[in-house]
Amino acid sequence: MLQIWALDNIGEITQGVDLADVVISALDQPLQAGDIVVVTSKIVSKAEGRTRVANDREAAITEETVRVVATRTSETGHTTRIVQSRLGIIAAAAGVDASNTPDGTILLLPEDPDASARRLAASLRERLGVPLGVIITDTLGRAWREGQTDQAIGAAGVHVFDDLRGSVDAEGRPLVVTMPCVADELASATDLVKGKTSRKPVAIVRGRADLVGSLDLPGARSIVRPPERDMFHTGSAEAYAEGFDAGLKAASGDA
C-alpha cells in the first residue's frame, strides 16, 4: 500500500527560511524510515532567494537558457519559447514562473536542485534520525501530449530509476530496455495531492522504502537525456529550417 499525503499549514516561504524547519513544523505524524519527502521547486526557490522583479522576466529567461529548442508564436501573438536551461531541463520559459509569487515578482528555478535536495535530506535525516529521500519537483509540459505533469528536477537519497536492466520478466526473459523513472512517477503521484491552486507544496510518500538509499545516489540531473541520445533535441520546424539553409548552401557550393 502506497500512502501519499500533503502537509497542511505550510506558510509563506521567504528567503533564508530553513526548509527542514518548515517540513518538521508541518508534520502531522512522525516520519518513518523510507518515507520520501516531495517538495515543489517553488518553495525551494523562494527560500534560496531566487526571486526577481517581473519586469526582468525576458532577461531572466535568457539568463537561464543554454539553448533555444523551439519557438512558436500563436495566432494571438503569444510566443512560446521551449528552451534547455542550464540545468539541462527542457521546459517552456526555462522554468521561470510567475504563478503563486507575490505580485510584480517572478521566480527562477533553484540554482542546483540536486544540491538543494541533498541539503534538505541531510538535515531531515540528522534531525529526525531516520533515512528519508527528498525529491524536488517542477510542473513540465512534454512533447506529443497535452497538459503538464510534475517531474523530478532534484533528488537526494532516493533512486531516480528503478533499474530493471538485468532483471527478467515473469516469463524469464530479460527486460533489456525497461528503466522506469520512479523519481518522475513519485513527482507526478504527489501532484495528485498537492494541487496547484492551494498552498500545499510538500507531500510525503510512504510505501517505497526500497527506493531510499545513500545521499550519494545520482540526482535528478541523471534523468536529463544527453544530446547524443536525444532524437528530439531540436524542434521539428527549427531542424527543418537548419536543413533547408544547409541544402541551399550545398547546392550553391558554399558548403
DSSP state of 176: -
Among positions 16, 30, 144, 216, the unique one binding a second copy when judged by CB under 8 A: 144
Q: Which stretch binds a second copy (CB under 8 A): 17-25, 47-55, 115-123, 245-253?
A: 245-253
**Bridge partner residues of 85 (DSSP):** 65
Q: Does 169 bind a second copy (CB under 8 A)?
A: yes
Among positions 2, 16, 30, 77, the unique one binding a second copy when judged by CB under 8 A: 2
Instruction: Give the pairing of strands 36-40 and 133-141.
Output: parallel
Q: Does 142 bind a second copy (CB under 8 A)?
A: yes
In the complex, what is the shortest distance from the CB of residue 48 to a second copy, in angstroms, rounded to a whole number?
20
Site for a second copy in 213-242 (CB under 8 A): 222-225, 229-242
Instruction: Give the pairing of strands 90-92 and 79-85.
Output: antiparallel
Site for a second copy in 52-71 (CB under 8 A): 70
3-state secondary structure of 199: coil
* Amino acid of residue 175: L
> How large is the angle between the packed helices 113-128 and 19-26, nearest 10 degrees?
50
Site for a second copy in 179-218 (CB under 8 A): 179-182, 184-186, 188-189, 191-193, 196-199, 207-208
Neighbours of 109 (CB within 10 A): 27
Among positions 21, 102, 127, 214, the unique one binding a second copy when judged by CB under 8 A: 102
Site for a second copy in 11-50 (CB under 8 A): none
Q: How many residues bind a second copy (CB under 8 A)?
A: 84
Burial 129-164 (b: 16+ CB within 10 A, else e): eebbbbbbbbbbeeeeeeebebbbbbbbbbbbbbee
The residue whose grid cell reads 507526478 is: 188
Q: 43 or 119: whose CB is closer to a second copy?
A: 43
Among positions 43, 150, 154, 157, the unique one binding a second copy when judged by CB under 8 A: 150
Q: Does 82 bind a second copy (CB under 8 A)?
A: yes
In the complex, what is the shortest distance from the CB of residue 161 to a second copy, in angstroms, rounded to a whole number?
5
Q: Does 5 bind a second copy (CB under 8 A)?
A: yes
Contact 159, 179 (CB under 8 A): no
Q: Which three cell numbers stand for residue 19?
A: 526548509
Q: 59 or 237: whose CB is closer to a second copy?
A: 237
Q: 33 or 98: whose CB is closer to a second copy?
A: 98
User: Cα separation of 162 and 223, whole Å?
Assistant: 12
User: Cα separation of 87 and 113, whole Å?
Assistant: 9
